[in-house]
Every structure is written in C-alpha cells, then in structure tokens.
Amino acid sequence: MSPDLLLPTPPIVRPDKDRFLQEENPFEAMMSRFDRAAVLLDLEPGIYKVLRNPEKQIITSIPVMLDSGDVEVYTGIRVLYNTSRGPAKGGIRFDLNVTLDEVTALAAWMTWKCAVVDIPFGGSKGGVVCDPLQMSVGELERLTRRYTSSIIQTLGPDSDVPAPDVNTNERVMAWIMDTYSMHVGHTVTAVVTGKPVEMGGSRGRREATGRGCMIVTKRALEHLGMPIKGASVIVQGFGNVGSVAAQLLEREGCKIIGISDRTTGIVNPKGIDVESAIAYVAQNRTLAGFTKGDAVSNSEMLTCETDVLLPAALENVITTKNAKHIKAKVICEGANGPTTAAADAILDEKGVFVVPDILANAGGATVSYFEWVQDRQGYFWAEDNVNKSLTTIMERSFDAVLDLSTQHKVNMRTAAYMLAISRVATVHRLRGVYA
C-alpha cells in the first residue's frame, strides 16, 4: 500500500449543508465526496486545488445539415479533467439533458475510476445536446463527424481517447475513428475504444462493464458471508450494462427477481428468465408487455425486498426521498452517480454495503484500456484472456478498497475515493508544477 495511505485518520468534516440544496447536481455530488476523502487523506492545499479543477473544458457549436435541407446548430462539450497519469479516457453521450456540470462530473468520475483500478489513464467525458431518437442515421453521422472535427485538437491515442456512452455505440466510434484518421492522413485505431472488432475493437468489450459488476457483486457477497447461489438480485436498467450483469449473475447462481427499463419494471419473486427477457427486448425494443412477472414502476422496484440492488441506468435514482425505503443488503452501482451524496448517509445508517460506481462499473474502462493496448501493439487477445485479466484487476481493486475501508473505518465509497485521489496526488507530487 502507498505510504501516503498510512496517515493517521483526521477528524471527519461534514460537507457544507449548502451542498445538499443541490442534491441532484452531479458535480456537487462528486465534489462533496472528493472533499471528504481529501480531508481523510490530509491532502495538501496545492494538490487539493489542482485536483478540484478540470484541466480543460470545451464548448463548441456544431452546425449540421439536416435531411430536410435545413441547418440546425447543436452544442457539443468535451471536458478533460485530469491527465497526470496518462491520456484522458471517457465516453461521449448524445442526449437532450447533457450539461457542462454533468460532463465535468463524469470526467472527474472517470479520473477516479481509472485510478481505482490502476490503469494509466486520466479522465474525460463528452456530450452533444441533441435527441438522437429524432435524427436519421445520416444526420447522426454528420453530427458525429462535425463534433469530432470541433474537438480534434484534444483527441489522439496519447491525449484523449473517447468511447461509447448514452445513445452512442460502435458505429459512432467508427465514425469518430474515420474522421480523426482522415484529418491525420492515416488510420489510427487507438483513437477510440468500444469500436467494432473488425476495426480493432477488443473482444469482450461490450460485456465488460456488466461483467465487472458481476465480479464485484460476488466479491461483496463473499465478504459479507452471503451465499451467491440463490442470492436475489434486482437490476434497474436493462440496457447493455444491466442486461449483461443480470445474465452473468444468473449464470453464477443468483436469482434475478426484478428488471426494468425506461418503460416498466418487472418483478417475479420466483425468478425471471433473463435470456427470455433479453430476447424479448431484442424483438420489441423495450420490456413493455413482458409477461413473465408483475409490472411495477421503476421507483417501486428500487424499494423491493432483495439481497442485491444493481442500479444500471442513469444518475440520481437513489435520493433522500427513497433511500430510507431501500431494503437491499448490497448495492452495486452499475451506472455513474446513481446515488446522491445526501443519500449516502441514510444508506450508511441502514447498514447497506455499497460498491461505488467508480469501482463497480470500472470494467468498461479496464477493457477499454486493453483495447487501446491491443491497438498500439497490433496484437489482439482471445476473449478468455480479456475476461481473465479483467477478473484479476476487478478483484484486486475491490480488495484494495475494502482494505482501506477497514483500516480507516469508512464506507466503500469514501475508501475508493481515497485510493483514487491518493494515486493521482502521488503522480502530481512526483511530476511537480510546470512553471
């Protein structure tokens, strides 16, 4: 363990009450957790100031010719939060709710996430304010290529490496890679991750985040002395992360008793056939009408009796409004920021064991790192090797966070932030301040 983690624990300073006036502001939530970890680490003021501020925030206008012949102008954002440990790494999302605060918080989370699992990346995030469901494939391609061109000065395998996120996918990454490659005059596969395998993508990348959630959930159950076989699990969010996590946990012997998407929640105490649900969604695009369980609202499902709750949708689904009603013994955060900072204290009082997002969903970032390495080497791994390496890193990272949690008598989230911040701070101390 790093020597700077062996400092005596200083008194805990409660975050300012004013922070909780903006409970669902993702940047404020991230910062309140950062502040608590910084106090426990006795972080020196200079390093504290550096780590509390993003390195670069880009806001750009993106004019796009629509199929109708009209021109629409969209807003694009890219934030590089910290690159002290290596190139920035972070997804790009297309959504009407994209804001600078949200993107900055997500870029910071990526910084801590990469540090927690000890891969040599910093953190970034990007987004475009748009409704991709109302856009044609051609419009989306033109939007993606113009956005890429607008931020191309930051992009590159040694500087900033995007990946898919909300409403983006392998095809969008292929457009970004091609646009970047056209600008530099040769093919650069390592400029993005999460691209098709045929273009240099990694086997196992699509399943990586859900697989990572499965690995740390098993580790949490083992730590708590709870049997894995027969453990009940509710998965909120049945997209790529949630469906894969549910599928893999079911294969490990868990009983999936609840699943949901944006349209509905499905609960069945006897267990849901996950393969059947995945096939239904593939055919119908949503869970609406799936009959192998009782339909409930998303909010109702979060408070059902279960051993494990795995929120794998969007931010702020567990708040002060519902945290006191949570009945799960373990929460594994498959999404980024599903629990507000104000809700953390309530879950602590209830004794809920939370595997925080910056650890729980780091499987995607980890296999993105594997993909980047493979692209740089021009040598690609078998899927078994990818999965074995992912398991090793996720288990080792869980154990490191648990050790710190026990040593400092703090919850897993605070311990994860302490581990991540200490690793980034150590590099800043070694590098010094360029003047």
> Considering Cα of 350, then 351, then 357, then 361, what sign does the dihedral take?
negative
CATH number for 252: 3.40.50.720
* C-alpha dihedral, 300 to 306 to 310 to 312, nearest 10°: -20
Residue 194: inside a domain:
no
- DSSP secondary structure letter of residue 291: -
Residue 336: inside a domain:
yes
Question: Which residue carries 């593939």 as its tokens?
Answer: 282
Check whether residue 162 and residue 279 sit in a common domain. Answer: no
User: In whole angstroms, what is the distance from residue 365 CA to residue 349 CA?
Assistant: 31
Structure tokens at 96: 């009407």
Check whether residue 235 and residue 165 sit in a common domain. Answer: no
Check whether residue 218 and residue 291 sit in a common domain. Answer: yes
Q: Where among 327, 360, 393 does a domain terminate?
A: 360
Tally Cβ neighbours within 10 Å of residue 318: 28
- DSSP secondary structure letter of residue 267: E
Residue 121: inside a domain:
yes
Check whether residue 246 and residue 350 sit in a common domain. Answer: yes
Check whether residue 108 and residue 163 sit in a common domain. Answer: yes
Check whether residue 260 and residue 334 sit in a common domain. Answer: yes
Say what the pLDDT of residue 314 is: 80
User: In whole angstroms, what is the distance from residue 191 CA to residue 199 CA?
Assistant: 12
Residue 415: inside a domain:
no
Q: Which of 370, 387, 375 is nearest to 215 (CA)?
A: 387
Strand partners, 164: 92
* C-alpha dihedral, 319 to 321 to 324 to 327, nearest 10°: -70
Q: Which of 99, 59, 106 is nearest to 82 (CA)?
A: 106
Say what the pLDDT of residue 12 is: 33
Question: Is the separation of the CB atoms in 161 and 148 below 8 Å?
Answer: no
Residue 35: inside a domain:
no
User: In whole angstroms, what is the distance from residue 99 CA to residue 22 CA?
Assistant: 15
Q: Which of 20, 88, 101, 1 is nearest to 418 (CA)?
A: 1
Q: β-strand 294-296 against 308-311: which pairing, if any? A: unpaired
Residue 255: inside a domain:
yes
Tally Cβ neighbours within 10 Å of residue 252: 15
Known catalytic residues are 125
Torsions phi, psi for 64 (to 5 deg): -135, 130
Structure tokens at 289: 């009408």
Angle subtended at Cα 6 by Cα 5 and Cα 11, rounded to the nearest 5 degrees: 90
Residue 338: inside a domain:
yes
User: In whole angstroms, what is the distance from residue 108 CA to residue 104 CA?
Assistant: 6
Q: Where among 360, 386, 421 does a domain terminate?
A: 360
Check whether residue 80 and residue 142 sit in a common domain. Answer: yes
Q: Where among 156, 189, 222 does a domain terminate?
A: 189
Residue 404: inside a domain:
no
In total, how many domains does the chain have? 2
Half-sphere exposure of residue 153, counting CA atoms within 13 Å on the CB side? 6
Check whether residue 150 and residue 219 sit in a common domain. Answer: no
Say what the pLDDT of residue 358 is: 97
pTM above 0.95, yes or no: no
Check whether residue 171 and residue 227 sit in a common domain. Answer: no
Range of the domain at 250: 208-360
Check whether residue 347 and residue 301 sit in a common domain. Answer: yes
CATH number for 90: 3.40.50.10860
Check whether residue 185 and residue 219 sit in a common domain. Answer: no
Question: Is the separation of the CB atoms in 55 and 82 below 8 Å?
Answer: yes
Question: Is the separation of the CB atoms in 123 and 113 below 8 Å?
Answer: yes
Alpha-carbon distance values, 308 to 217, 222, 232, 319, 353 (Å): 8, 13, 6, 17, 10
Check whether residue 213 and residue 311 sit in a common domain. Answer: yes
Question: Is the separation of the CB atoms in 353 and 224 below 8 Å?
Answer: yes
Question: Is the separation of the CB atoms in 164 and 91 below 8 Å?
Answer: yes
Query: One digit per residue, pLDDT tens: the chain, 435 residues?
Result: 333 333 333 333 333 444 444 688 888 888 999 999 999 999 999 999 999 999 999 999 999 999 999 999 999 999 999 999 999 999 999 999 999 999 999 999 999 999 999 999 999 999 999 999 899 999 999 999 999 999 999 999 999 999 999 899 999 999 999 999 999 999 999 999 999 999 999 999 999 999 999 999 999 999 999 999 999 999 999 999 999 999 999 999 999 999 999 899 999 999 999 999 999 999 998 999 999 999 999 899 999 999 999 999 888 999 999 999 999 999 999 999 999 999 999 999 999 999 999 999 999 999 999 999 999 999 999 999 999 999 999 999 999 999 999 999 999 999 999 999 999 999 999 999 997
User: In whole angstroms, what is the distance from residue 397 CA to residue 199 CA?
Assistant: 30
